[in-house]
Amino acid sequence: MKALVCVKRVIDYNVKPRVKSDGTGVDLANVKMSMNPFDEIAVEEAIRLKEKGVVTEIIAVSVGPAKAQETLRTALAMGADRAVLVQVDDGVEVEPLAVAKIVKGVADEEGPSLIITGKQAIDDDSNQVGQMVAALLGRPQGTFANEITVEGDSVVVKREIDGGLETVKLALPAVVTTDLRLNEPRYASLPNIMKAKSKPLVTKSPADYGVDVAPRLKTLKVSEPPVRSAGIKVADVDALVAKLKEMGVA
Amino acid sequence: MKTLVWVEHDNTAVKDATLSAVTAASQLGEVHLLVAGSGCAAAAAEAAKIAGVGKVHVAEDAAYANALAENVAPLVAGLMADHDAFVVPATTTGKNIAPRVAALLDVMQISDILSVEGPKTFTRPIYAGNAIATVESSDAKLVITVRGTAFAKTDATGGSGTVEAVAAGADSGLSSFVGSEVAKSERPELTSAKIIVSGGRALKDSDTFKAVIFPLADKLNAGVGASRAAVDAGYVPNDFQVGQTGKIVAPEVYIAVGISGAIQHLAGMKDSKTIIAINKDEDAPIFQVADLGLVADLFTAVPELTGKL
């Protein structure tokens, strides 16, 4: 079966984002960008399914600027077979609904049995694309996956929920979104990074899938979160106990 | 504006997260509720008592027993013909269902709102809470998930909503519930606890974590949380995780023990009223957000603290 993996180029998770002083957004100029951590987990899971002989081909797809090619090359270096970049102009942010429509377009063309996405991107923190893709395709969804097992024509997904874990069984084709503990993504080796350069990567545009990427949400402003006032350090446990008593906690 | 609020429940009782969502919804207009489940009459009766609630739509069917998104989303999408906004608590159930509903309605969801600024204007955190975006929707209908810690809870009593049955849709046949492993805990639930004691990687192992953190939490009647490092190392189960990808909490007092304070952890707790940090590294980033800090070895300081309370 074919697997389609969605990856997003985002600010590196170790970078502390800075809000632009004019309030129009977060400053991404000269900031290190990487593959969204949850998407690395998605790519890794597809590769593991291929190594088990369940998946035969892995297609990585990304919606973003020309530089998102680098993110797709990373996926190819990890083990994806080919890639599709749905390119938009620099600085254009495509909302989850439009991304989901584009992914649906790619899925209609490719006919994957499994679509794997990260549970959320660490930039917009939306947590929507996987669910929306499933809805648009009219297929089942296994969100926040902790474990994935393909059994014949269905996939069993153990999900991370608020109180613990829950297991659901989904008819294939299905959409799965990855949680942190699904796996430990591998690093791409240098030879594989070199090989990835010659793997196929096609560039498309949203119009190829008939998708309008005009935003539905208008960002009026982006501001810094309220700053906490500086705290104090106490000398010892007794001082801490005294403070807790003062606060009425103990 | 007529809003439809998703009621999070376990068939017998309404969960607290719903009450925060009702507060957010009431800032938009008339509040209707949806109770979907199997054998959920008790939850529906309880929902009707929530202050300020109008109609309570009850969809009772085996297909809704485990809130499978494939079955629930079409039900909600149908009810949205008569409502202007679907308001959902940002729990794992809510986050699973709401975007599916939004896509069926062809609208963009607004995730994890912190405040209602206008009929279609909201604030929400982005970049792990390092920035707050104010967004205005241009969609005809709204689909919103609500961050529980950002809204006060509506009074669970005093209301007199009218309960009305909704015809159930067919089972999609696309998915089925197999089972769940729900961690039993005597301690206050993390997202609604007034005090939380959280442990990090420095706790060494599961037994040490329990021996150091649990007695302090018990003494304070506190919930127990953990950093991702502590969860990944297997000290405690996943659902203890506080952070961008775990639970978002805002208790009165958050005590971080042996937690360095990575961006992703702070995203889940920096709205706590008072943050107390115990860490032996005085340069740990956690001290930049802590109201009270104690630079000390947690293995001596925490038992001493527990003993003196």
Three-state secondary-structure class, residue A47:
helix
Cβ-contact B216, B305 below 8 angstroms: yes
Residue type, B99: P
A245: left (phi over 0), alpha (psi -120 to 50) or beta: alpha
**C-beta atoms of B100 and A141 within 8 A:** yes
Q: For residue A248, is pLDDT > 90?
A: no
Residue B296 structure tokens: 């000390």
Binned at pLDDT 50, 70 and 90, residue B127 comes out as very high
* B253, closest residue in chain A (CA to CA): A249
Nearest-CA distance from B164 to chain A in Å?
27
Of A221, A224, A249, the CB nearest to B195: A249
Residues in chain B: 309
Distance from CA of A144 to the nearest CA of B (A): 8
> How far is C-alpha A41 from the geometric centre of its chain's CA atoms?
9
Residues of chain A contacting B139 with CB distance shorter than 8 Å = 216
Assigned token pair, A222: 């982006």
pLDDT bin (cut points 50, 70, 90) of residue A249 is confident
CB contact under 8 Å between A232 and B106, yes or no, is no
**Mean per-residue pLDDT over chain B, rounded:** 95
Q: Measured between CA atoms, how close is A95 to chain B, in angstroms? A: 8
CA distance A21 to B156: 42
pLDDT value at A57 more than 90:
yes
Q: Which residue of A has its CA nearest to B114?
A: A225
Per-residue pLDDT reduced to its tens digit, A184-193: 999 999 999 9
Report DSSP state, residue B84: S
The phi and psi torsions of B206 (rounded to 5 degrees) equal -60, -45
Lowest mean pLDDT among A100-104, B158-162, B185-189, B278-282: B185-189
Helix (H, G, I), strand (E, B) or coil at B223: strand
User: Tens digits of per-residue pLDDT, B4-14?
Assistant: 999 999 999 99
Q: What is the DSSP letter of A172?
A: S
Assess B276–A contact: CB distance below 8 Å, yes or no: yes
Give residue-wise pLDDT tens across range B88-120: 999 999 999 999 999 999 999 999 999 999 999
Residue B146 sits at the vertex; the CA angle it makes with A218 and A157, to the nearest 5 degrees, is 105
Confidence band, pLDDT 50/70/90 cuts, at residue B245: confident
Q: Which residues of B touch A164 (CB under 8 A)?
A: 180-183, 237-239
What is the structure's pLDDT at B301?
Answer: 96
The alpha carbon of residue B253 is apart from the nearest alpha carbon of chain A, in Å, by 8
Distance of CA A184 to the CA centre of its chain: 15
Evaluate whether A101 touches A161 at the Cβ level (below 8 Å): no
Instruction: Say whether pLDDT at B288 is over 90.
Output: yes
And the tokens for B301?
């300081």
| The pLDDT value given to residue B115 | 98
Per-residue pLDDT band for A203 (boundaries 50, 70, 90) equals very high
**Residue B70: its chain A contacts at CB < 8 A?**
140-141
Per the omega criterion (within 30 degrees of 0), is the bond before A173 cis? Answer: yes
Check CB contact under 8 Å for A160 and B238: yes
Measure in Å the smallest separation between the Cα of A76 and chain B Cα atoms: 26
Q: For residue A88, what are the contacts with CB-CB under 8 A and spacing of at least 6?
A: A63, A64, A65, A94, A205, A206, A213
Distance CA B274, CA B162 (A): 41
Average pLDDT over residues A208-226: 96
- Chain A environment of B77 (Cβ under 8 Å): none
Q: Which of A97, A179, A219 sits opposite B103 (nearest CB)?
A: A97
Contact predicate B219/B306, CB 8 Å: yes
What per-residue confidence (pLDDT) applies to B192? 86
Could you tell me if B164 lies within 8 Å of chain A, comparing CB atoms?
A: no
Mean pLDDT of chain A: 96
B183 part of contact set with chain A, CB < 8 Å: yes
**Is B195 at the interface with chain A, CB within 8 A?**
yes
pLDDT tens, position by position, B78-88: 999 999 999 99
Residue of A nearest to B247 (CA): A162
Q: In this complex, is the C-beta atom of B93 within 8 Å of any C-beta atom belonging to chain A?
A: yes
| Amino acid at position B34, single letter | L
Tell me what pLDDT residue A229 has.
Answer: 80
Tell me the chain A residues in contact with residue B108 when contact means C-beta distances shorter than 8 Å. Answer: 95-97, 215-217
Contact flag B130-A225 (C-beta cutoff 8 Å) = yes
CB-CB contact of A231 with B290 (8 Å): yes
Please answer whether residues A215 and A92 qualify as being in contact, where contact means their C-beta atoms are separated by less than 8 angstroms.
no
pLDDT the model gives residue A222: 97
Residue B308 contacts residue A237 (beta carbons within 8 Å)? yes
Q: For residue B136, which residues of chain A lie inside 8 Å, CB to CB?
A: 217-218, 220
Which pLDDT value is given to residue B184? 78
CA angle B153, B156, B160 (to 5 degrees): 130
B272 → chain A, closest CA residue: A228
Length of chain A: 250
Q: Which of B173, B152, B181 is nearest to B24 (CA)?
A: B152
Q: Annotate A187-218 with b (16+ C-beta within 10 A) or e (fewer).
A: ebeeeeeeebeebebeebebeebebebeebbe
Cross-chain CB nearest to A217 (options B110, B238, B287): B110
pLDDT in tens, A79-129: 999 999 999 998 899 999 999 999 999 999 999 999 999 999 999 999 999
Q: List the single residue in B with minimal CA-CA distance to A159.
A: B180
- Residues of chain B numbered 63-82 and touching chain A (CB < 8 Å): 66, 68-70, 73
pLDDT, residue B170, reads 87
Q: Could you give the percent of chain B with pLDDT greater than 70?
A: 100
The answer, for B268 touching chain A at a CB cutoff of 8 Å, is no
Asked whether residue A230 carries a pLDDT value surpassing 80, the answer given is: no
The residue of chain B nearest to residue A11, with distances taken between CA atoms, is: B127
DSSP state of B247: B
pLDDT band at A228 (very low <50, low <70, confident <90, very high): confident
Query: Which pLDDT belongs to residue B191?
Result: 87
Burial of B82 from C-beta contacts in 10 A (0-12 / 13-18 / 19+): exposed
Residues of B in contact with A32 (CB under 8 A): none
A138-183: pLDDT as tens digits: 999 999 999 999 999 999 999 999 989 999 999 999 999 999 999 9
> Strands B175-182 and B121-126, how do they pair?
unpaired
